[in-house]
């Protein structure tokens, strides 16, 4: 094989060492390159207005190939300064020709071109590609996070709608809607007690088994009289009038109850509707009662010597203007806690549920005994012999009725409305919870829009890198071809291959 046909293969990473080892370029090439760049900076201060030059100089750093192009352009712009001897009188042309001469001295241009080529292959092009991949990953991550936010948003909206449905409100005007739905509490209580009569058999069974005929008193009263007032349960008679306490709903930042007038004093009320026993008599100024002639209190009773007066007990007390009131309840008027119904009273409602659970536990135990204790010699089973009116099936039905009453009496809607009525701060808690859900949904939606906007920006940045990469690849290919051609000339036009270049 002819020597000229043997290709010269040079790995890109070893190109600079190969050039130095073949004595094509000197070892210390950085100093002349630095001097050349300094002269290029000075020459750029005086350039003609030319579109080709502007386009050329707006690109990357100027190298030997750019200098050759600049000289060709200056040959056209500075042709008027050319002498008959072929030299140019223009200082611009002289400066750039000097730069070209310094480049060609000791093949400095080849050393710099090799440096740029190696830097592009090993760093610039991989760096741009890595940045593009990173932007693509960030774009996908933003879109994925934006998509993932749909799940918590849907969950919050579902919880918000479920809470509004439990409360029976729309959420437009919570204060007015709360007042409206609270009026439906008696209907919910009546619904939960619709089948209360079915548990009478269970109450009788429990009383017979325990030997306490007055057990479960609230359940007995509800079965017999229904959901009456606490007053009727305590005094065994219906009240003449009912004065239920006013419902007060507290909302943050707004007063939901009427402001007390300046001359109105709130002494508080106790469970019996009277003034609270905690009010100290010391804060009330009764004044000093002095027995003076003009300051005596006229009680409507003529005073007379006690030893000369005979009391007639047949005279009706109405003649003396005295009104007799009912003991503790102002003539049969249900006030305070006693004005609530049994299921609406905070105290008696808990006792009602306790009795239901007590009866449920008893029936579960009885059902267990009937189903599992088969030996007639067993003491527990022998105690059941005298209760032959109920078998496991009948007890199971009663147990199911008790469980249904418990479920209906303590369902979420009833519990919410009960707390709303008897706890002024509960309205504020519910409102805050609903507002927090709404704010959380708004925040999720805002975050999702921000992520989508960020994804668009990242995609645009990724698109802007395409021409940068294309320009780098094109420049690198040009440098590679120039290097291969230059080395080939030095070795009798042998084929030169730079391995590891751009694809």
pTM attached to this predicted model? 0.60
Query: How many domains is the chain partitioned into structurally?
Result: 1
Return all residues near 199 (Cβ < 8 A) that are at least 6 apart. Answer: 219, 223, 359, 398, 401, 402, 405
From 167, 63, 179, 45, select the one nearest 115 (Cα to Cα): 63
pLDDT along the chain (503 residues), means of 10: 80 92 90 91 81 72 87 81 72 88 93 94 94 95 94 91 82 76 80 83 84 83 85 85 74 44 37 38 38 42 42 42 42 77 84 88 84 55 53 83 86 82 80 88 94 95 94 92 93 90 75
In the prediction, which pLDDT does 503 show?
A: 66
From 20, 51, 63, 73, select the one nearest 478 (Cα to Cα): 63
Does 442 map to a domain?
no
Domain range spanning residue 120?
3-140+457-499
Does 494 map to a domain?
yes
Does 59 map to a domain?
yes
In the prediction, which pLDDT does 320 show?
A: 35
Does 315 map to a domain?
no
Strand 8-11 versus strand 496-499 pairing type: parallel
Does 32 map to a domain?
yes
The token duo for 454 is 């960020």
Residues facing 241 on adjacent strands: 333
Does 19 map to a domain?
yes
Does 63 map to a domain?
yes
Does 263 map to a domain?
no
């Amino acid at each position: 094989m002819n020597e000229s046909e043997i290709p010269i293969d040079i790995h890109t990473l070893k190109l600079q060492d190969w050039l130095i080892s073949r004595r094509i370029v000197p070892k210390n090439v950085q100093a002349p390159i630095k001097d050349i760049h300094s002269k290029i900076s000075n020459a750029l201060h005086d350039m003609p207005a030319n579109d080709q030059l502007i386009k050329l100089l707006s690109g990357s750093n100027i190298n030997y190939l750019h200098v050759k192009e600049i000289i060709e352009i200056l040959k056209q712009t500075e042709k008027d300064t050319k002498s008959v001897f072929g030299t140019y009188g223009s200082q611009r042309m002289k400066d750039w020709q000097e730069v070209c001469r310094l480049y060609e001295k000791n093949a400095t241009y080849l050393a710099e071109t090799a440096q740029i080529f190696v830097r592009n292959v090993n760093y610039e092009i991989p760096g741009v590609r890595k940045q593009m991949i990173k932007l693509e990953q960030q774009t996908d991550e933003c879109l994925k996070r934006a998509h993932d936010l749909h799940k918590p948003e849907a969950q919050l909206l579902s919880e918000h709608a479920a809470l509004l449905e439990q409360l029976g409100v729309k959420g437009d005007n919570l204060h007015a809607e709360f007042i409206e739905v609270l009026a439906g509490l008696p209907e919910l209580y009546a619904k939960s007690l619709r089948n209360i009569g079915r548990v009478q058999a269970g109450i009788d069974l429990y009383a017979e088994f325990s030997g306490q005929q007055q057990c479960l008193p609230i359940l007995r009263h509800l079965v017999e009289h229904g959901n009456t007032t606490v007053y009727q349960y305590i005094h065994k008679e219906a009240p003449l009038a009912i004065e239920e306490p006013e419902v007060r709903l507290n909302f943050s930042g707004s007063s939901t109850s009427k402001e007390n007038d300046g001359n109105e004093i709130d002494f508080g009320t106790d469970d019996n509707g009277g003034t609270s026993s905690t009010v100290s008599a010391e804060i009330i100024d009764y004044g000093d009662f002095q027995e003076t002639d003009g300051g005596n209190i006229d009680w409507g009773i003529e005073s007379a010597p006690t030893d000369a007066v005979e009391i007639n007990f047949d005279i009706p007390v109405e003649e003396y203007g005295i009104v007799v009131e009912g003991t503790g309840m102002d003539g049969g008027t249900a006030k305070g806690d006693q004005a609530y119904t049994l299921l609406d009273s905070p105290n008696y409602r808990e006792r009602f549920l306790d009795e239901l659970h007590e009866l449920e536990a008893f029936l579960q135990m009885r059902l267990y005994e009937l189903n599992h204790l088969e030996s007639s010699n067993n003491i527990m089973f022998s105690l059941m012999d005298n209760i032959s009116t109920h078998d496991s099936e009948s007890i199971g039905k009663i147990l199911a009725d008790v469980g249904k009453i418990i479920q209906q009496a303590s369902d979420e809607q009833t519990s919410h409305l009960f707390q709303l009525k008897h706890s002024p701060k509960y309205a504020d808690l519910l409102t805050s919870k609903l507002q927090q859900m709404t704010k959380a949904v708004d925040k999720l939606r805002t975050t999702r829009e921000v992520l989508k906007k960020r994804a668009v920006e990242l995609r645009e940045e990724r698109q802007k890198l395409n021409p940068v990469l294309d320009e780098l690849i094109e420049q690198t290919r040009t440098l590679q071809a120039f290097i291969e051609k230059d080395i080939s000339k030095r070795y009798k036009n042998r084929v030169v291959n730079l391995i590891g270049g751009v694809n």
